[in-house]
Amino acid sequence: MIIDISPKEYKNYFAHDPYPFISEGFINLVNNKVDRVVRLIDSSHKDVAIGLVAGIKDNVLLAPFSAPFGGFHYKYEAVFYDRIYDFLLHLKQYITEWNLEGLSVTLSPNIYNPTINAKLVNAFIRLGYNMNTPDILNFIDLRHFDGEWCKSEVRQNCKRAIRQGLSFSEAKDEASIKEAFQIISENRKGQNRNIFMSLEDIMEVNDVIPVDFFLVRNSNGEGVSAGVFYRGHEQISQGVFVGDLLSARKLAAVDFIYLNIYNFYKEKGFNFIDLGKSSTDGEPNVGLVRFKEIHNCISTLGYTFQLGNVKP
């Protein structure tokens, strides 16, 4: 039987957050986006090994409700398959018993918990949950990055950027952070793409998840490219925004900033950079997939499962 327990009780079961978007700090930051937050465990087992943090909005259970992915806590990666199967079986019963209209769960990328994800995907499908067309996700494995690129054009662009006097730095003061965000905003506007967070939103996240801002400047000291990354996991950094000024694209500043960001996190001991989705509702952005892959990224799949009446 699935039951909702208090934050304190839930934390007693799960002292470690496998990824930042299900931490209490982050949940408290975004809990105003839903009608209420639930922390679910399966009381059928004395040894509680898996749990789900979710929000209920418009009578639909959502995990996540204001993040790229979210959901499951677990005590250890090798949670027995039958515990996972039972949890998802009883979760269907919970939806019915509480007269909820539906459910949507987006799993974390595989770099965070591949063993858990394999069992979750199998159990979701076997139990008849609806699987959306998987999204294409990209990440860079820093353990195998040595400064070389799989495409010579990227290497040539980085050399050209250095010859043209571009410089890379971490933006730490208020003026530099605002400048970095302005570059990102102009980049999105120039491509007719919405930016889903304000600088104020990002700084609020920084209160619970460390946020890194990066700037590339031209030889005149003017900002031409920027990046925003979360550092909410001990081994995985997450790219939120990377972009350049379209007017300065000939400087190859984006290739240069990727090179330096890779080196920045590799030197800090990170194993991966999660560079997020390259598709929307399962439909690939072909150019974005290619762009990430020529920057040594690996493509993998991201899964969302649903039940009932869930609006797209």
> In this structure, are residues 18 and 73 in contact, taking their beta carbons and an 8 Å threshold?
yes
Looking at the DSSP bridge assignments, the partners of residue 73 are: 51
Q: What is the 3-state secondary structure (H, E, C) of 194-205?
A: CCCCCHHHHHHH
Q: Give the separation between CA 189 and CA 43, rounded to whole angstroms.
A: 49
Reported as a single tens digit per residue, the pLDDT across 240-251 is 999 999 888 899
Assign 312 a pLDDT band (cuts: 50, 70, 90).
Answer: low
107 pLDDT higher than 80: yes
% of the chain at pLDDT higher than 70:
100
pLDDT at residue 214, rounded to an integer: 98
Q: How far is CA 20 from the centre of its chain?
A: 9
192 pLDDT higher than 90: no
Question: Exposure of 207 by Cβ count < 10 A (0-12 exposed, 13-18 middle, 19+ buried)?
Answer: exposed
> In this structure, are residues 243 and 119 in contact, taking their beta carbons and an 8 Å threshold?
no
Reported as a single tens digit per residue, the pLDDT across 115-155 is 999 999 999 999 999 999 999 999 999 999 999 999 999 99
The whole-model pTM stands at 0.94
Reported as a single tens digit per residue, the pLDDT across 45-70 is 888 999 999 999 999 999 999 999 99
% of the chain at pLDDT higher than 90:
92
Reported as a single tens digit per residue, the pLDDT across 160-186 is 999 999 999 999 999 999 999 999 999
**Which of 33, 29, 27, 34 shows the shortest CA–CA distance to 7?**
27
Average pLDDT over the chain reads: 95
